[in-house]
A and B are shown apart, each in its own frame.
Chain A
Amino acid sequence: SAVISQKPSRDICQRGTSLTIQCQVDSQVTMMFWYRQQPGQSLTLIATANQGSEATYESGFVIDKFPISRPNLTFSTLTVSNMSPEDSSIYLCSVSGSATYEQYFGPGTRLTVT
């Protein structure tokens, strides 16, 4: 299994500002995923981040709003840009064991936009 940490764990931000969320994994992984989750609800995939290539975004999510960096095999960042109250959510980083298929999740970043 992989151990994943995220920073910050929570934040309260003003509308119109941006927040960068960091995700650190304790082992090298090929694919990293960013999800959004409303408390008590299902997960929505924002994008998949491969090291050395552009992130692949899901329908409804664009790079200008959610730019992602993946500088190496253990680290990724997700930026939530020009925030509005609708961006208030929990943001989860995840990795997949390529040989074992299951995913491992970070503890999440709880974002509140006022």
Chain B
Amino acid sequence: AQSVAQPEDQVNVAEGNPLTVKCTYSVSGNPYLFWYVQYPNRGLQFLLKYITGDNLVKGSYGFEAEFNKSQTSFHLKKPSALVSDSALYFCAVRDTYSGGYQKVTFGTGTKLQVIP
């Protein structure tokens, strides 16, 4: 079985400061990992993914995430937060052991509040 945990319901950060949104996962095989963002009253947008290769992946809007296999983590980061980054962020995982079925498990979400 696969699972993903986002331990923080909300993260507050001052504008211009670095931000981190945490995510840990559990899979049987190797993970495919994703971050999505949901702005108020809008659908989910894909931010970035880790499939294989370099542990540091870069995505949209200046976000990046680091895959850490030993800690089973995939934390989302940005060097300098913007007020417009305020949104709901979801981490998601797909277990490659699941074969051809592409079920993805989403975390509970972390609300990011960037304070001006």
A residues adjacent to B (C-beta < 8 A):
1, 31, 40-43, 45, 48, 92, 94, 96, 98, 101-108
> A40 to chain B: which residues have CB within 8 Å?
88, 109, 111
> B32 to chain A: which residues have CB within 8 Å?
101
Nearest CB of A to B30, in Å: 12
B27 at the interface (CB under 8 A from A): no
CB within 8 Å for A1 and B46 given contacts A40-B111, A43-B90, A101-B51? yes
Nearest opposing residue in chain B for A43, CB measure: B106
B109–A41 CB distance below 8 A: yes
Interface SS of chain B: strand
B94–A101 CB distance below 8 A: yes
Q: Which of B51-108 contact A (CB under 8 A)?
A: 51, 88, 90, 94, 101-104, 106-108
> A101 to chain B: which residues have CB within 8 Å?
32, 34, 49, 51, 94, 102
A106–B46 CB distance below 8 A: no
Q: How large is the interface on B (under 10, 10 to 19, 20 to 34, 35 or more residues)?
A: 20 to 34
CB within 8 Å for A105 and B108 given contacts A42-B90, A43-B90, A96-B102? no
A45–B103 CB distance below 8 A: yes
Nearest CB of A to B59, in Å: 10
Nearest CB of A to B103, in Å: 7
B44 at the interface (CB under 8 A from A): yes
> A98 to chain B: which residues have CB within 8 Å?
102
Nearest opposing residue in chain B for A31, CB measure: B102
B104–A103 CB distance below 8 A: yes
10 shortest interchain CB distances as A-B pairs: A105-B44, A105-B43, A107-B43, A102-B46, A43-B106, A42-B108, A102-B49, A42-B106, A108-B43, A96-B102
A106–B107 CB distance below 8 A: no
**Assembled-state Cα–Cα distance A45/B43 (Å):** 15
**Assembled-state Cα–Cα distance A98/B101 (Å):** 11
